[in-house]
Amino acid sequence: MTISYGVHSEAGKLRRVLVHKPGAAMARLTPANCAELLFDDVMWVKQARIDHMTFTDAMRNRGVEVVFLRQLLMETLRDMEARRWLLEARISDNTVGVGLADDLMAHLMEVDADLLSTILIGGMSRAELPIPDKGVLAPMLEPADWHCQVVRVLFFA
């Protein structure tokens, strides 16, 4: 049987939904970057997590299959061919800065899928770079600046 994904009715029954629990990416919202990231204001992450859990529980109680984006991403990242494809598609001199892409790619190919999914969804600040911040862009950033915005490019571009 082939599963057909998508929205096929405005009023039909919701059977399966893909959700993402608020986490590292939401915690990185600041008054300075929230508008750029298409948010009206900084979120209260703790309350957002509670609201998300309440909402997903309500959907499950109504028979909806709740699928979590991060879990799917972790499963995908365990496949090294899929991991390489994803990282090669998104890590380049244009996305992370000239001189940093090769070292970052090599590092991210080696980390476990759980950590990599967290990095891809939540990004990485200059201070969190696990490799020397050489190149053109990284040395110009403040340590707390959100540097590696791989997932923002991946899911929203």
Percentage of the chain lying above the pLDDT 70 cut = 78
Condensed to tens digits (0 to 9), the pLDDT of residues 13-27 reads 889 999 988 887 777
Listed by start position, the domains of the chain span 16-69, 72-156
Cα 79-67-80 angle, rounded to 5 deg: 5
Q: Which two tokens stand for residue 21?
A: 């629990």
- 72-156 CATH fold: Pentein (1.10.3930)
**pTM value?**
0.73
pLDDT classification of 52: cutoffs 50, 70, 90: very high
